[in-house]
Amino acid sequence: MLQIAVCDDDPEAVRVHKEVTEDCLRQNKCAGRISLYTSSGNLLCDIIDDHFFYDLILLDIEMPGNTGMEIAEKIRPYLPEVKIIFITSHIEYAIDAFELSIFRYVPKDDREGRLAAAVRDAVKLIGLEAGSVYTIQTSSRLERIPCREIYYIERDGKNAGIISSGGVSRVRKSLQQVYEELDAEEFLYIDRGCIVNLIHVMKVKDSMAVLKNGVSLPISRSHLQEVKKRINDYWGAHI
């Protein structure tokens, strides 16, 4: 689910931008949560102090307190991959917006024609860049793990250990919780304490799942036939 913020000191503009964004999400059949702000200070506080994560921000440039330019500069260390769409009535800001690596610049006098296209393009790009990801978020930590890079997940006491190409990440959730949150056909229980990503299984031999990274994981007797069937079905549908 995409996390999107709309920030403008004009409540009517916030309403319009929200409706445009909702329409774009529907057209792209994409789930998203839209947070609304009429104060630039509140947006900054949520991102910097409370570690809110956003994929996309629609941002007015001319606001009291912190301008859109100042916000974009301040949040970059916290959200380096965020896409920002600037909306402004002053065309001279376009050069500065380009220097800040802003995704798109939309003049207010052409908002109707260009805002929807900008949001659609941003949503598509975010999807292409991220693919499916598993997000671990706490008060002091944000980690996004591409699902395609996860080899397997194992029970680790009261935690679930996620083993990926980037190393081991632990989240204080049950294995079943993580499985339900992933909600992807590629992930399969091979034992009560282990879930494997089918895309990394090279073969099943002697009740072991052999992964591309060289790791061999035991498959419980009760899961063996189901694992073999799911692997055959999965590759039959995707090759």
pLDDT digit string (tens) for 201-225?
888 889 999 998 889 999 999 999 9
CA contacts within 13 A on the Cβ side of 161 = 9
Return d(Cα 170, Cα 178) in angstroms, integer. 11
Q: Where does residue 68 rank: exposed (0-12), middle (13-18), buried (19+ CB within 10 A)? A: buried
Kindly report, as residue ranges, where domains of CATH 3.40.50.2300 are found in the chain: 2-130
Contact partners, residue 17, CB within 8 Å, separation at least 6: 6, 8, 58, 87, 115
Return d(Cα 77, Cα 210) in angstroms, integer. 39
Nearest to 74 by CA among 89, 95, 59, 91: 59
Query: Which helix or strand (DSSP H or E) is residue 152 part of?
Result: strand 150-156
Name the average pLDDT for the chain. Answer: 87
Give me the pLDDT at residue 239, please.
40
Q: Do the beta carbons of residue 141 and residue 149 sit within 8 Å?
A: no
Percent of the chain predicted with pLDDT > 90: 49
Select 2-130's CATH number: 3.40.50.2300, 3.40.190.10, 3.30.70.1400, 3.40.50.2000. 3.40.50.2300
Kindly report, as residue ranges, where domains of CATH 2.40.50.1020 are found in the chain: 140-238
Q: Do the beta carbons of residue 153 and residue 190 sit within 8 Å?
A: no
Q: Which residue has the higher pLDDT, 40 or 95?
A: 40
Long-range contacts of 108-112 (CB under 8 A, 24+ apart): 111/16, 111/87
Sign of the torsion formed by the C-alpha atoms of 223, 226, 231 and 232: positive
pLDDT of residue 44 exceeding 90? yes
pTM above 0.75, yes or no: no
25 to 19, 122, 191, 196: CA distances (angstroms): 10, 11, 38, 31
CATH entry 2.40.50.1020 includes domain 140-238: yes
Return d(Cα 47, Cα 80) in angstroms, integer. 12
